[in-house]
């Protein structure tokens, strides 16, 4: 069984935007749970509100969390949405620069692991997304991340091409979105 660490934000964590207490979808309905039922040993390193760590201490803490159960065979990284949502007027290029620094450290820490950089599905207008800038810049993450992945020699996937349904807030996956994401990821991992 291959060990995969999934580094991400609330969509990796499995946040259910319908739950007023900040709960999660049931494990069997989250994309990480669906991946686990496909024969992968999954370590869910998702956290609500997580941005790409850019300080040494934050990077080191996340990398320690990723290797808590031993060195992974695969690492997926899907971050960037919160960097746009919480960073005043950040562009896709700003977010990509933060991602580059993090990925370089991750590659040093796990030289034998296969790294898959995933561009999150672009945001849509919704309860959390009222600015056109957020929709535009989130759609630009895919091409920016693709170029970064090629430059660093890591694998790339654009979840925007997987038909991931978002909830009313324009950011979080619906249950159907988790299913579509898991299917897209499994296809990409099999390539």
Q: Within its chain, how far is the Cα of 133 from the centroid?
A: 20
CB atoms within 10 A of CB 91: 16
Instruction: Please give the Cα distance from 93 to 144 (Å, whole number).
Output: 7
Q: What's the confidence (pLDDT) of residue 69?
A: 86
Is this structure's pTM higher than 0.95? yes
Task: State residue 141's pLDDT score.
Answer: 98
For residue 87, the model assigns a pLDDT of 74
Sequence ranges of the domains in the chain = 3-190
* CA-based nearest residue to 78, from 187, 182, 190, 191: 182
Q: What is the model's pLDDT at position 20?
A: 85
- φ, ψ for residue 45, nearest 5 deg: -110, 45
Q: What is the pLDDT of residue 22?
A: 82
- Look at residues 48, 74, 36, 60 and name the one whose alpha carbon lies nearest to residue 157: 74
| Local mean pLDDT, 10-residue blocks, the chain (191 residues) | 95 95 94 96 97 96 93 97 89 97 97 98 96 96 98 98 98 98 97 91
In CATH, what class is 3-190?
Answer: alpha beta
- Cα separation values, 177 from 35, 163, 182, Å: 14, 7, 9
């Amino acid at each position: 069984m291959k060990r995969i660490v999934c580094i991400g934000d609330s969509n990796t964590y499995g946040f259910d935007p319908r739950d007023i207490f900040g709960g999660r979808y049931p494990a069997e309905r989250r994309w990480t749970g669906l991946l686990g039922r496909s024969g992968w040993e999954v370590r869910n390193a998702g956290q609500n509100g997580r941005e790409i760590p850019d300080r040494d201490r934050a990077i080191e803490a996340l990398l320690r969390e990723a290797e808590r159960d031993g060195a992974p065979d695969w690492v997926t990284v899907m971050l960037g949405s919160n960097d746009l949502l919480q960073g005043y007027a950040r562009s896709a290029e700003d977010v990509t620069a933060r991602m580059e620094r993090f990925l370089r450290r991750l590659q040093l820490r796990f030289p034998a692991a296969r790294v898959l950089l995933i561009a999150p599905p672009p945001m849509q207008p919704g309860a959390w997304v009222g600015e056109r800038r957020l929709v535009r810049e989130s759609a630009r993450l895919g091409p920016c991340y693709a170029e970064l992945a090629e430059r660093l020699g890591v694998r790339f996937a654009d979840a925007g091409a997987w038909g991931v349904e978002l909830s009313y807030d324009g950011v979080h996956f619906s249950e159907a979105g988790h299913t579509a994401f898991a299917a897209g990821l499994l296809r990409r991992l099999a390539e």
